Structure 1
Amino acid sequence: MKPTRFIDLVPHIVLIVGVLVFAYPIYVTLIGSTWDSGTIGRGGLPLWPGGEGVDNYAQAWAGEAGARAKYTPVRTMMLNSLIMALAIALGKIAISILSAYAVAFFRFPLRMAFFWLIFITLMLPVEVRIIPTYKVVADLGLINTYAGLAIPLIASATATLLFRQFFLTIPDELLEAAKIDGAGPVRFFIDVVLPLSRTNIAALFVILFIYGWNQYLWPLLVTSSGDMETIVTGITKMIGTGESANDWNLIMATTVLAMLPPVAVVVFMQRWFVKGLVDSEK
């Protein structure tokens, strides 16, 4: 019995060690946001909270000048990131669910050819097509705009593939029953397909929101104004070229604030997220 009990404990031990490894940097960031920049700069950061937390967060939120530099207010950067993340998540879901619905339920020439063309784009990351995409956005005058931040990123082959695979599991009897009742394609989509897809939509929303929130390279290219900076690019710009040139207390406070929206989305939508990933009941 003893060897069996020890073997049963191994997964828990591994999980606990993994949590500690990943949580420690977050803990250090949280603690660092409560001390002054001098304490952090000297490399003597304690492992317990300091007394500067309220001032650091208020200063970062308002965008007041730090000891060494002045930064874009966190409230502005978080608003920009929130708008971009919501636009990307909702746009990807809307486009993907409609394209998957067309591929799964309609019969038209070259249907599978179009689907495979969409699927092939999975092999083309943003970095490969970023130069022509930037040229198009610049020609359309979308630099330093929310449209320029979100529109080039709203197409998603992954979400289209996932929705299509789900739609293929919908019984044909539902489609036949809808036809008998006189429901057209739009009515069938609204009354049958969307309600059945709500858990999948919720799961994808969580994933795509975090994807949009964490974008770095594209916002860095299409924004040159501080008023349009996102939180991820803003944190990067707050870090100077040398250790002594940084207000680490404000950087860490900004980092903690940047983690709150994604964490909140995961926490509030956790039940739907898990159900959308594992539930096979239709």
Structure 2
Amino acid sequence: MASEQGQTTQRDGQLIDLTVVKQRLRQQPGLHLSLIGSLVVLALPVIMTVLMSTQPSTEISSSTLAGIGSEGLSNYQQVLFDANFATYLVNSLIMALAIAVGKVGIALLAALALVYYDLPFKRLILLFILFTLALPVPVRIVPMYEIMVSLNWENSMLGLVVPYFASATSVLLLRQHFRSISDSMVESAKLDGVSPLKFLVYVLIPMSKSMIAGLFTIAFIWGWNQYLWPLIIINDQSKQVLQVGLAQLNPTAGEALWGLIMAGAVITLLIPMVLMLALREPLLDTVSMQTK
């Protein structure tokens, strides 16, 4: 009876929720219609991209985007195997994972040092980290390239990912998060003889799973979308990434093969979209903290 009552209560709760939703819809129909319209407008480019990815150039030129095109999945097959997108996909996945793991790992160690170590000139170090936020990536391209060449890391995965391991934003967010942890917990760990690294692994990381997941998602998507640096540092096509491969689908002369380009765009969107859906809650928490 208890389980039946629980189900009844749960169903009653759902009915009450639906009633409240219907009442709000009746009270503010204009607001909800505008929200639905905004969602449709935001989703329309993605829907059109998916439809165009199944069509040949002739159908796209004639603006017949009413449904699935006659090409079906042949555009995807051609892009993946003839245009070498399968290799680019693997390279992009390795690059984005390496950048995300490197950014989060170094940020954890840096935040640990800034919060729990008595470092000389700690404020000056923090100001230097803040100063790096004012340097855009194009300004750092030439010195980064010279360093990679001097290390013989050009045209390699190391040269592709190592320059992007440091992240001032991740360090600052984790620093603020670590500072919010109770001092009594830190003092108890010191009295028990827990080393800083053990404190990081067994206390800080379990208490920061949501923050770490959000930072990992942001770093992964940021690394996945890199175009300029891979274009400069990688010369071998077998080591190139998706963003550069997508740009190469557009011919320098002649009519653009929009069906193939749209199929490549859909393939490029898939993995970041799946990751964002899987980690949407920690991502939203991290973004909301970043805006505060």
Q: Which band: TM-score by shorter chain?
A: 0.7 to 0.9
Q: Distance in 2 between matches of 1:224 and 1:18?
A: 42
Tell me what 1:22 maps to.
42
Judge which range, 264-273 or 105-114, deviates more.
Answer: 264-273
CA contact (8 A) 1:81 1:213 kept: yes
Tell me what 1:256 maps to.
266
How many pairs does the alignment contain? 266
Q: Distance in 2 between matches of 1:274 and 1:259?
A: 19
Q: 1:200, CA displacement in angstroms?
A: 0.4
Tell me what 1:50 maps to.
69
CA contact (8 A) 1:34 1:56 kept: yes
| Alignment pair present for 1:59 and 2:70 | no
Tell me what 2:222 maps to.
211
| Residues 127 and 183 of structure 1: CA distance in aligned 2, closer, same or farther (over 3 Å) | same
Tell me what 2:250 maps to.
239
Q: 1:16, CA displacement in angstroms?
A: 2.4
CA contact (8 A) 1:96 1:159 kept: yes
- Structure 1: 5+ residue stretches without partners: 64-70
Which residue among 142, 149, 152 is the counterpart of 2:163?
A: 152
Tell me what 1:134 maps to.
145
TM-score by length of 1: 0.88
| Residues 271 and 134 of structure 1: CA distance in aligned 2, closer, same or farther (over 3 Å) | same
Tell me what 1:12 maps to.
32
The C-alpha deviation readout for 1:123-155, integer Å capped at 9, x for no partner, is 011111111111111222222211111111111
Question: SS state of the match for residue 115, structure 2?
Answer: helix
CA contact (8 A) 1:200 1:277 kept: no
Q: 1:87, CA displacement in angstroms?
A: 0.8
Identity %: 37
Tell me what 1:68 maps to.
none
Q: 1:10, CA displacement in angstroms?
A: 4.5
Which residue among 100, 103, 112 is the counterpart of 1:89?
A: 100
Q: 1:39, CA displacement in angstroms?
A: 2.3
The C-alpha deviation readout for 1:85-144, integer Å capped at 9, x for no partner, is 111111000011110110011112101111110111000111111111111112222222
One-letter code of the match for 1:56?
Answer: N
Question: SS state of the match for residue 215, structure 1?
Answer: coil
Which residue among 92, 110, 113 is the counterpart of 1:102?
A: 113
Tell me what 2:17 maps to.
none
One-letter code of the match for 2:48?
Answer: V
One-letter code of the match for 2:135?
Answer: L
TM-score by length of 2: 0.85
Tell me what 1:225 maps to.
236
| Residues 111 and 245 of structure 1: CA distance in aligned 2, closer, same or farther (over 3 Å) | same
User: What does 1:29-40 align with in structure 2 at a 5 Å threshold?
Assistant: 29-40=49-60
- Structure 2: 5+ residue stretches without partners: 1-23
One-letter code of the match for 1:54?
Answer: L
Tell me what 1:165 maps to.
176
Q: Distance in 2 between matches of 1:9 and 1:97?
A: 47
Q: 1:249, CA displacement in angstroms?
A: 1.4
| Residues 10 and 172 of structure 1: CA distance in aligned 2, closer, same or farther (over 3 Å) | farther
Q: Distance in 1 between matches of 2:97 and 2:231?
A: 18
One-letter code of the match for 1:24?
Answer: L
CA contact (8 A) 2:88 2:241 kept: yes
| Residues 245 and 278 of structure 1: CA distance in aligned 2, closer, same or farther (over 3 Å) | closer
Give 1 or 2: higher helix fraction. 2
Q: Distance in 1 between matches of 2:159 and 2:204?
A: 31
One-letter code of the match for 2:265?
Answer: T
One-letter code of the match for 1:50?
Answer: G
Q: Distance in 1 between matches of 2:38 and 2:218?
A: 22
One-letter code of the match for 1:153?
Answer: Y
Q: CA RMSD in A?
A: 2.0
Q: Distance in 2 between matches of 1:262 and 1:181?
A: 42
Q: 1:38, CA displacement in angstroms?
A: 2.8
Q: Distance in 1 between matches of 2:170 and 2:284?
A: 17
Q: Distance in 1 between matches of 2:63 and 2:31?
A: 35
One-letter code of the match for 2:222?
Answer: Y
Q: Distance in 1 between matches of 2:70 and 2:268?
A: 21
Question: SS state of the match for residue 245, structure 1?
Answer: coil
Q: Distance in 1 between matches of 2:27 and 2:212?
A: 38
CA contact (8 A) 1:57 1:253 kept: yes
